């Protein structure tokens, strides 16, 4: 009997004691040497932050991120900034995409390090040159092994040099050490002169590169061939999407790019009141228009409403709002009016406008800027009650009458004109200082 009991005990120990000694419980805390058993650790995913901008901040836009092992999304803030922490277990590299609501163009960037990663037209060009491919296709189905092999610190430097060379006839990017990760402070639409030096480079790029040359430039950057054209230099020719040859020998606004201006450009309204706005554009030759190719939009969600023919109805809530007129035939071109809504109006609606909100002048050249305004009834003025000022410290000179002298250095600068009798309303003029094509 005792032998049977011993045999049964040994059998049970053999069946259940393969991982632990018979007669004791399973101990996960330590082994015979006193070391803890290894535990699987989940590593946090990369954290990315940056700014999306095209010269002006891309505000309240959807931004998508794809990394190895996870995808995520966020929205940009009013100043174009964003921040996102990817899911645990995901790793670099990551590909980012956002869309500019102003023209529907997608912007991309490739992050090989955590931290700052911007999305701008320059990062789009850099990414295209790195991958030698359309970045919309790359983002749709990213091959992270290929990206990891292709995008390195060395190749980024080489690709950035290629992009800078292509743009050298339009602007100087030499002050930007790195397109992807150089901190960027973008200007807002209501204050276009408040951005940093990188923002001003983006301003210049936005104004000098004609809208119909953007896609041909990206297409050229996606080719392996080293024979790339220098945009802005004499003899530059590229092939457009329709197969036709396009001249890229000079800044777009010196050539044939369209214009749009909005009237009035600034005003003070009572809550709930109405004001008709108009847009002035130039029309393409040999093109018949059934209507003016302009779309109207109120920028702020609570900023009132506007009809298709420009009749604006102010909101009931006092505040500062903006109305945008955008060309349909040149989607990158728009003009914005500032609307101040308050209860202090006495029945008179003060307005302020400029002849052109974008002007061209050669380095060291001069131009007479003009402001247009209305006058309160029964009040006489000795002079037009407006004040002109330069926004940037190095943006040239301007007289009391609006005579502007450009600086010697090419770039995009800003001049502000403000009503003296109603100082809350003002208009900012973009000054493009550059040479016309040869």
Handedness of CA 51, 212, 297, 430 (dihedral sign): positive
Q: Are 100 and 58 in contact (CB under 8 A)?
A: yes
> Of all helices (H) and strands (E), which one includes residue 388?
strand 386-390
The answer, yes or no, to whether residue 18 has pLDDT greater than 50, is no
Statement: residue 7 has pLDDT above 50: no
Angle at Cα 269 formed by Cα 264 and Cα 273, nearest 5°? 105
Tell me what pLDDT residue 46 has.
96
Output the pLDDT for position 35. Answer: 47
Contact 268, 352 (CB under 8 A): no
Closest CA to 322 of 280, 281, 262, 390: 262
Residue 350 main-chain phi, psi, to 5 deg: -75, 135
Q: Which position has the higher pLDDT, 241 or 51?
A: 51
pLDDT: which is higher, 256 or 109: 109
Task: Considering only residues 239 and 277, tell me which one the structure prediction assigns the higher pLDDT.
Answer: 277
pLDDT at residue 2 in the model:
42
pLDDT at 22 over 60: no
- pLDDT tens string 332-343: 678 999 999 998
Evaluate if residue 424 carries a pLDDT over 90. yes
Average pLDDT, integer, range 103-115: 94
pLDDT in tens, 174-220: 899 999 999 999 988 767 778 898 998 998 888 778 777 899 999 99
User: Which string of DSSP letters, residue by residue, matches 159-170?
Assistant: HHHHHHHHHTTT
Q: In terms of residues, how long is the chain?
A: 438
Question: Could you give the CA distance from residue 357 to residue 361 in angstroms, rounded to a whole number?
Answer: 13
Beta carbons within 8 Å of 195's beta carbon, 6+ residues apart: 53, 55, 185, 186, 187, 202, 203
> Do the Cβ atoms of 270 and 341 come closer than 8 Å?
yes
Q: CA 200, CA 119: separation in Å to the nearest integer? A: 15
106-114 mean pLDDT: 97
What pLDDT does 437 receive?
54
**Residue 111: left if φ>0, alpha if ψ -120 to 50, beta else—which one?**
beta
pLDDT above 90 for 120: yes
- What's the pLDDT tens digit per position in 38-66? 555 678 999 999 999 998 899 999 999 99
pTM above 0.75, yes or no: no
**Residue 299: which residues within 8 A CB-CB, separation 6 or more?**
189, 321, 322, 323, 324, 336
The neighbour count for residue 434, using CB atoms within 10 Å, is 24
**Alpha helices, DSSP H, located in 101-223:** 121-131, 135-140, 144-150, 153-167, 197-208, 214-221
Q: Tokens 């990760």 — which residue?
A: 181
């Amino acid at each position: 009997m005792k032998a049977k009991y011993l045999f049964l005990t040994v059998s049970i120990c053999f069946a259940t004691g393969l991982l632990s000694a018979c007669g004791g419980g399973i101990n996960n805390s330590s082994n015979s040497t006193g070391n803890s058993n290894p535990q699987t650790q989940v590593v946090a995913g990369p954290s990315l932050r940056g700014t999306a901008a095209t010269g002006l901040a891309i505000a309240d836009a959807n931004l998508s991120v794809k990394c190895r092992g996870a995808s995520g999304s966020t929205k940009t803030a009013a100043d174009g900034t964003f921040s996102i922490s990817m899911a645990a277990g995901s790793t670099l590299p990551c590909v980012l995409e956002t869309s500019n609501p102003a023209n529907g163009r997608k912007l991309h960037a490739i992050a090989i390090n955590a931290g700052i990663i911007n999305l701008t037209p320059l990062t789009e060009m850099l990414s295209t040159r790195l991958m030698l491919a359309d970045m919309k296709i790359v983002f749709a189905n990213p091959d992270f092994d290929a990206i990891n092999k292709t995008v390195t610190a060395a190749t980024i430097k080489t690709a950035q040099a290629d992009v800078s060379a292509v743009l050298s006839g339009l602007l100087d990017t030499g002050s930007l050490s790195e397109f992807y990760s150089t901190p960027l402070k973008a200007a807002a639409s209501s204050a276009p002169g408040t951005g940093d030096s990188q923002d001003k480079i983006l301003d210049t790029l936005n104004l000098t590169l004609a809208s119909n040359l953007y896609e041909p430039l990206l297409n050229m950057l996606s080719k392996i061939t080293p024979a790339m054209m220098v945009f802005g230099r004499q003899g530059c020719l590229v092939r457009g999407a329709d197969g036709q040859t396009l001249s890229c020998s000079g800044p777009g606004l010196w050539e044939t790019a369209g214009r749009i201006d909005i009237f009035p450009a600034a005003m003070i309204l009572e809550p709930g009141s109405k004001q008709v706005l108009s847009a002035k554009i130039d029309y393409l030759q040999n093109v018949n228009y059934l209507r003016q190719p302009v779309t109207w939009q109120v920028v702020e969600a609570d900023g009132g409403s506007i009809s298709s023919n420009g009749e604006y109805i102010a909101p009931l809530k006092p505040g500062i709002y903006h109305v945008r007129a955008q060309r349909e035939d040149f989607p990158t071109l728009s003009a914005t009016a500032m609307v101040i809504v308050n209860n202090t109006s006495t029945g008179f609606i003060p307005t302020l406008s400029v002849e052109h909100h974008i002007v061209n002048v050669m380095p060291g050249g001069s131009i007479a800027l003009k402001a247009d305004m209305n006058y309160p009834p029964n009040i006489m003025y000795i002079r037009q009650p407006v004040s002109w000022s330069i926004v940037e410290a190095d943006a040239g000179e301007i007289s009391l009458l609006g005579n502007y002298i450009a600086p010697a250095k090419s770039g995009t600068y800003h001049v502000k004109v403000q009503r003296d009798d109603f100082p809350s309303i003002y208009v900012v003029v973009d000054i493009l200082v550059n040479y016309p094509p040869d």
